[in-house]
Amino acid sequence: MPVYHYRGYRTDGGSATGIIDAENPKVARLKLRKEGIFPTEVAEHTRPLLGRTAGTKGELTVRTGRAAVMTAGELALVTRQFATLLIAGLPLVDALGVIVDQTDKKPVKALFADIREQIRNGRSLSDVLETHPKDFSRIYVHMVRAGEASGALDQILTRLADFLEKQLALKHKITNALLYPVLMLIIGITLLFFLMTFVVPKITAVFSDMHQALPWPTVALMTVSSFCSDYWQWLVGLVLGSLLLVQRALHTERGRMAADRLVLRLPLIGDVARKVSISRLASTLATMLASGVQLLDALDVAKRVMNNRILEEAVESARQNIREGETVADPLKRSGEFPALVTHMIAVGERSGELEEMLRRLSQIYDGEVDRVITRLTSLMEPIMILAMGGIVFFIVVAILLPIFEMGQMVRA
Write down the architecture of domain 173-413 according to CATH. Answer: Up-down Bundle (1.20)
Average pLDDT of the chain is: 81
Cα–Cα distance measured from residue 383 to residue 380, given in angstroms and rounded to the nearest whole number? 6
Type of residue found at 325 = G
Please give the full DSSP string across 205-219, using - where no structure is assigned: GGGGG--SPPPHHHH
Please give the full DSSP string across 270-328, using - where no structure is assigned: HHHHHHHHHHHHHHHHHHHHHTT--HHHHHHHHGGGG--HHHHHHHHHHHHHHHTT--S
Q: Report the length, in residues, of the chain.
A: 413
The structural domains of the chain, with segments of one domain joined by +, span 3-45, 72-167, 173-413
Q: How confident is the model at residue 84 (pLDDT cuts 50, 70, 90)?
A: very high
Q: How confident is the model at residue 240 (pLDDT cuts 50, 70, 90)?
A: very high
Residue 58: pLDDT above 60? Answer: no
pLDDT at position 210 is 66
Which of 139, 169, 170 shows the shortest CA–CA distance to 156? 139
Q: Which DSSP symbol is given to 268?
A: T
Work out the widest C-alpha separation in the chain, in whole angstroms.
Answer: 102
Give the chain's end-to-end CA distance (angstroms, integer): 99
Please give the full DSSP string across 154-188, using - where no structure is assigned: HHHHHHHHHHHHHHHHHHHHHHHHHHHHHHHHHHH
Q: Do residues 259 and 251 lie in contact, with contact meaning Cβ atoms separated by under 8 Å?
A: no
pLDDT at position 348 is 92
Mean pLDDT of 358-363: 90
If you average pLDDT over each of 290-299, 314-323, 381-390, which comes out highest? 314-323
pLDDT at position 9 is 65
Q: Do residues 79 and 87 lie in contact, with contact meaning Cβ atoms separated by under 8 Å?
A: no
Convert the pLDDT of each residue in 123-174 to its tens digit. 889 889 988 888 888 888 888 888 887 778 888 888 888 888 888 888 888 7
pLDDT at position 244 is 92
Cα–Cα distance measured from residue 100 to residue 113, given in angstroms and rounded to the nearest whole number? 6
- The angle, 0 to 180 degrees and rounded to 10, between the axes of the packed helices 340-352 and 355-412 is 170
Type of residue found at 354 = E
Mean pLDDT of 259-266: 90
**DSSP-assigned beta bridge partners for residue 52:** 60
pLDDT at position 60 is 35
Which residues have C-beta within 8 Å of that of residue 31, sequence separation ≥ 6?
Answer: 20, 22
Cα–Cα distance measured from residue 114 to residue 64, given in angstroms and rounded to the nearest whole number? 14
3 state SS of 228: helix
Q: How confident is the model at residue 344 (pLDDT cuts 50, 70, 90)?
A: very high
Q: Do residues 12 and 6 lie in contact, with contact meaning Cβ atoms separated by under 8 Å?
A: no
Convert the pLDDT of each residue in 271-283 to its tens digit. 888 988 898 888 8
Cα–Cα distance measured from residue 357 to residue 14, given in angstroms and rounded to the nearest whole number? 56
Rg (CA), the chain: 30
* Whole-number percent of the chain with pLDDT over 70: 87
Q: Do residues 112 and 132 lie in contact, with contact meaning Cβ atoms separated by under 8 Å?
A: no
What b/e string do you get for 220-258 counting C-beta neighbours within 10 Å, with b at 16 or more? ebbeebbebeeeeeeeeeeeeeeeeeeeeeeeeeeeeee
Which of 10, 157, 145 shows the shortest CA–CA distance to 75? 157
Which of 39, 41, 40, 36 shows the shortest CA–CA distance to 12? 36
pTM of the model: 0.67
What b/e string do you get for 375-402 counting C-beta neighbours within 10 Å, with b at 16 or more? eebeeebeeeeeeebeeeeeebeebbeb
Q: How confident is the model at residue 63 (pLDDT cuts 50, 70, 90)?
A: very low
The helix (run of H) or strand (run of E) holding residue 41 is strand 37-45
Q: How confident is the model at residue 61 (pLDDT cuts 50, 70, 90)?
A: very low
Convert the pLDDT of each residue in 297-339 to its tens digit. 888 888 888 888 899 999 998 888 888 888 888 999 998 889 9
The helix (run of H) or strand (run of E) holding residue 388 is helix 355-412
Residue 36: pLDDT above 80? Answer: no
The CA-based dihedral angle spanning residues 271, 274, 276, 278, taken in that order and rounded to the nearest 10 degrees: -140
Q: How confident is the model at residue 412 (pLDDT cuts 50, 70, 90)?
A: low
φ/ψ region of 49 (left if φ > 0, alpha if ψ in -120 to 50, else beta) reads: beta
The reply to whether 72-167 and 173-413 are identical in fold is yes
Q: CATH number of 72-167: 1.20.81.30, 1.10.1200.10, 2.170.190.11, 2.10.60.10?
A: 1.20.81.30
